[in-house]
């Protein structure tokens, strides 16, 4: 599902116009983004938790040349699904 399909699904389920649905989705995504940039977690009960994790600096290899390179430390976004979401996904 891409963004336009998600907007259409929101519009269908809520009765909002596509334009209003797109604004609502944009507001949710922006709010999640701002929280993650601040280092906060975003927990959606029944869905999962978005957060950030620190990735340590490490040594890597350039696949073209085989040369050793240093990969700097960074933060990565993580998502941990709730047990309810896991159960729905694994239901047969």
Q: Which residues 6+ apart lie within 8 Å of 87 measured at CB? A: none
pLDDT, one tens digit per residue, over 10-43 is: 999 999 999 999 999 999 999 999 999 999 999 9
Q: Which of 30, 32, 27, 26 is nearest to 47 (CA)?
A: 32
Residue 55: pLDDT band (50, 70, 90) is very high
Report the pLDDT value the prediction gives residue 92, as an integer from 0 to 100.
Answer: 65
| Beta bridge mates, 80 | 49
């Amino acid at each position: 599902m891409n963004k336009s399909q998600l907007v259409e699904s929101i519009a269908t389920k809520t009765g909002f116009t596509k334009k209003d649905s797109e604004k609502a989705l944009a507001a949710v995504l922006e709010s999640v983004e701002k929280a993650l940039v601040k280092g906060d977690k975003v927990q959606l009960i029944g869905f999962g938790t978005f957060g950030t994790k620190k990735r340590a600096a490490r040594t890597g290899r350039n696949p073209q040349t085989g040369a050793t390179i240093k990969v700097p430390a960074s933060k990565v976004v993580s998502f941990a699904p709730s047990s309810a979401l896991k159960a729905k996904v694994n239901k047969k």
